[in-house]
């Protein structure tokens, strides 16, 4: 799988890489919002961009639970307030997968099932940093 593909994970929820996540034609593809997880890849919203862009910067590994929770909370808000949301980090194979998996856990999915499901959809199950896996597993309360 190419990392620049926009992969549907659940209805209205997608993951891609930073190149596709910053594309000016996302609104033409029906997207309403973008959640960027990589401060280095975030660009101030272009005046011609017709989608809501939110930055929830996460490190590539050893992420603090509070920062992770903030990113998942932002994703929940975007999904609730906008129709079609795309999440991206650098390659859409680590942070994005973990945040979307955590979102699915919060909607009732088992953590391992969510990690496997999202990771396999993005061709990235083995690429998720163990610190992010632990944060997803910790959501099973």
CATH of the domain at 124: 3.90.190.10
Query: Residue 38 CB: number of other CB atoms within 10 A?
Result: 22
Decide if 50 is inside a domain. Answer: yes
Total number of domains constituting the chain: 1
Host domain of residue 52: 7-137
pLDDT at 73 over 70: yes
What 8-state DSSP symbol labels residue 131? H
Decide if 2 is inside a domain. Answer: no
- Cα dihedral 96→99→100→105 (10° resolution): 160
What does pTM read for this prediction? 0.92
74-119 pLDDT, tens digit per residue, is 999 999 999 899 999 989 888 999 999 999 999 999 999 999 999 9
């Amino acid at each position: 799988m190419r990392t620049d593909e926009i992969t549907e994970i659940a209805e209205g929820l997608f993951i891609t890489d930073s190149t596709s996540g910053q594309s000016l034609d996302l609104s033409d593809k029906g997207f309403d919002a973008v959640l960027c997880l990589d401060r280095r890849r975030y660009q101030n919203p272009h005046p011609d961009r017709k989608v809501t862009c939110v930055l929830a910067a996460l490190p590539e590994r050893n992420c603090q639970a509070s920062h992770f929770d903030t990113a998942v909370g932002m994703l929940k808000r975007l999904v609730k307030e906008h129709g079609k949301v795309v999440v991206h980090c650098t390659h859409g194979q680590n942070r994005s997968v973990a945040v979307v998996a955590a979102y699915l856990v919060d909607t009732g999915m088992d953590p391992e099932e969510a990690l496997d499901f999202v990771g396999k959809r993005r061709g990235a199950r083995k690429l998720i940093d163990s610190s992010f896996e632990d944060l997803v597993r910790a959501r099973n309360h």
